[in-house]
């Protein structure tokens, strides 16, 4: 080949490759973003710690969202509280135009989760009070610090783009995201990052968790004296029990992946009164929403059959639902690259000893803290559910777990309340915020990644498109947990930290 032609071909090749390589966020930009996180270490940890002591249940995240609102308003963000009909729905936004990236997370605690930090036995701070038994408090610092670092970087390098942080209320009750999706918040969004605490940096592709549908079945009968004139009654408890039997027979025909669980929340008053009202609360789950919906439809028919058999009527009320989280491969590869580049925190011997001590106390393997991110592809679909799943069926989304807790501890258990304000959590928050900011900068500066993500998402959702489980008249249950919070808040407020974190 003549030298001229070779040069020409090389030039053409370079031009063709340029969009794939030249537009990733530069090392300079990431170094700058990470320095913004570093200089705000104290504020990040203060915010996360403050939320731990607020310990607020779903829909009652008032102190938590107020503190974060003040921090983000002072940082130059526009904050909306109360959207989609929920007073604690938090949306902080900065920037203009495309790309538009959203960090999706939650800050609610759990009932009965009060725990004294860094104590390796069950020791509530306030007896019976709620508390953080997953570490959702850490989400506040990581998400807002990453968004702030992105803002500072876009400003410094004169880059276009919009960044937002969303706290969906009541994640632990699958309480809010379908309403936020219905309200149209994700219409113009290009990509969503699902942020959650874990014991390592972990991402993945494909279905990450299960679809879930939560429904209440109330049977209405007619009361009568159970000895004198039982024939005048219509027994609502019989209806509930016949429904239970019907579902038990259905189990043989269910796929191994199906999960059906229930609680009888009202079983009548006392034996000599024919019950006129009973209620059974069902959760149906499966690998996909289509499969969960098939089982749900059968259970609805069983309920109607039970009512028919007993001459009662049944009210079927939607409680909550969540699609499985669909994590996008194109996005997850970028996330993993940034996990590997930022790396795990430099744990001290004291922290490793602390972790092993907790593991020993809990009788789990004493592996200490992980020192390398989870290798790509190791994540499998779990049978738990999260209402944020709905979002990934209206916009490409990716899971993002950061290392801020101890391997082997069980969430939704006091054990997970031991560590969320420890130095392990604090260090995890910092690396979590850095890799998150770097990932978002890559999304914003590499249009090819977002285009590939969109193409992949269209392909995957083509045959299994989103439908909302919300009945048209459904409204968020904004009063859930209100009574519990008012009962415990006075005692809990003695532990508030009274910090005012400010980013700079």
Q: Which residues bind Zn ion (CB under 5 A)?
A: 134
Question: Which lies closer to Zn ion via its Cβ, residue 196 or residue 234?
Answer: 196
CA–CA distance, 327 with 379 (Å, rounded to integer): 11
Cβ 171 to Zn ion, closest distance in Å?
6
Taking the complex as a whole, the smallest distance from the CB of residue 468 to Zn ion amounts, in Å, to 22
Neighbours of 267 (CB within 10 A): 13
134 or 199, CB closer to Zn ion?
A: 134
Q: How many CB atoms lie within 10 A of CB 375?
A: 10
The CA distance from 400 to 160, in Å, is 24
Going by C-alpha positions, the residue among 148, 166, 160, 180 that lies closest to residue 36 is 148
Could you write out the three-class secondary structure of 245-273? Answer: HHHHHHHHHCCCCCEEEEEEEECCCCCCE
Give the shortest CB-197-to-Zn ion separation in angstroms: 7
- Decide whether 194 or 457 has the Cβ nearer to Zn ion: 194
Chain-centre distance of CA 108, in angstroms? 10
Residues 6+ apart with CB under 8 A from 288: 207, 211, 324, 464
φ and ψ at 22, to 5 degrees? -80, -15
Which residue, among 264, 261, 178, 251, has the nearest Cα to 218 in the 3D structure?
264
111 burial level (CB within 10 Å; 0-12, 13-18, 19+): middle
By beta-carbon proximity to Zn ion, the closer residue of 43 and 195 is 195
Q: Name which of 134 and 351 has its Cβ closer to Zn ion.
A: 134
CB of 132 or CB of 426, closer to Zn ion? 132
Query: How near is the Cβ of 115 to Zn ion at its closest, in Å?
Result: 16
Sheet holding 191-198, edge to edge: 78-81, 90-96, 161-167, 100-105, 191-198, 397-403, 326-327, 206-207
Identify which of residues 149 and 397 has a Cβ nearer to Zn ion in the complex. Answer: 397
Task: Give whichever of 134 and 446 is closer to Zn ion, judged by the CB atom.
Answer: 134
CB nearer to Zn ion: give 134 or 209: 134
Q: How far apart are CA 57 and CA 64, in angstroms?
A: 10
Q: Which is nearer to Zn ion, 134 or 387 (CB)?
A: 134
The 3-state DSSP class for residue 121 equals: coil
Point out the residue whose Cβ comes nearest to Zn ion. Answer: 134
E strands within 97-209? Answer: 100-105, 161-167, 191-198, 206-207
Are β-strands 326-327 and 206-207 bridged in parallel, bridged antiparallel, or unpaired? Answer: antiparallel
Tell me which H or E stretch contains 136.
none
Report d(CA 287, CA 291) in Å as an integer: 7
């Amino acid at each position: 080949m003549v030298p001229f032609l070779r040069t020409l071909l090389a030039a053409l090749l370079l031009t063709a490759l340029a969009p794939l390589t030249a537009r990733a966020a530069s090392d300079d930009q990431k170094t700058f973003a990470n320095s913004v996180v570093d200089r705000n270490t104290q504020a990040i940890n203060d915010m996360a710690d403050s939320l731990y002591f607020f310990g607020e249940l779903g829909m009652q995240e008032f102190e938590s969202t107020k503190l974060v609102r003040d921090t983000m308003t002072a940082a130059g963000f526009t904050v909306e509280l109360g959207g989609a009909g929920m007073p604690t729905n938090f949306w902080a936004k900065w920037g203009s135009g495309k790309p538009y990236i959203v960090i999706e997370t939650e800050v609610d605690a759990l009932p009965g989760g009060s725990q004294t930090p860094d104590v390796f036995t069950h020791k509530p701070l306030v007896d019976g009070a709620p508390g953080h038994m997953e570490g959702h408090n850490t989400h506040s610092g990581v998400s807002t610090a990453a968004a702030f670092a992105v803002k500072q970087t876009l400003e410094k390098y004169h880059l276009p783009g919009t960044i937002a942080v969303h706290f969906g209320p009541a994640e632990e009750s699958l309480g809010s995201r379908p309403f936020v999706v219905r309200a149209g918040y994700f219409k113009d969004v290009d990509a969503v990052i699902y942020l959650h605490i874990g014991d390592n940096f972990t991402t993945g592709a494909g279905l990450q968790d299960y679809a879930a549908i939560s429904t209440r079945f109330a049977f209405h009968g007619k009361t009568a004296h159970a000895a004198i004139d039982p024939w005048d009654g219509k027994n609502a408890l019989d209806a509930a029990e016949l429904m239970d039997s019907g579902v038990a027979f259905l189990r043989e025909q269910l796929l191994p992946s199906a999960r059906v669980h229930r609680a009888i929340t009202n079983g009548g008053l006392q034996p000599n009164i024919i019950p006129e009202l009973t209620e059974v609360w069902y959760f149906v789950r499966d690998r996909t929403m289509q499969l969960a919906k098939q089982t749900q439809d059968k259970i609805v028919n069983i309920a109607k059959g039970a009512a028919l058999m007993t001459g009662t009527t049944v009210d079927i009320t939607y409680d909550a639902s969540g699609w499985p989280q669909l994590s996008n491969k194109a996005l997850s590869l970028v996330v993993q690259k940034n996990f590997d580049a930022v790396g795990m925190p430099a744990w001290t011997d004291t922290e490793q000893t602390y972790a092993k001590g907790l593991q020993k106390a809990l009788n789990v393997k004493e592996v200490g803290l992980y020192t390398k991110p989870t290798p790509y592809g190791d994540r499998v679909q779990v049978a738990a559910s999260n209402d944020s799943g709905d979002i990934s069926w209206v916009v490409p989304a990716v899971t993002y777990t950061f290392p801020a807790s101890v391997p082997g501890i069980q969430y939704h258990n006091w054990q997970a309340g031991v560590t969320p304000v420890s130095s392990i959590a604090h260090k995890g928050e910092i690396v979590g915020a850095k890799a998150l900011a770097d990932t978002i900068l890559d999304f914003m500066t590499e249009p090819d990644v977002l285009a590939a993500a969109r193409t992949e998402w269209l392909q995957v959702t083509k045959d299994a498109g989103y439908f909302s489980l919300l009945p048209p008249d459904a409204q968020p249950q904004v009063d859930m947990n209100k009574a519990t919070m008012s009962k415990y808040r006075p005692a809990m407020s003695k532990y508030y930290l009274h910090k005012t974190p400010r980013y700079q």
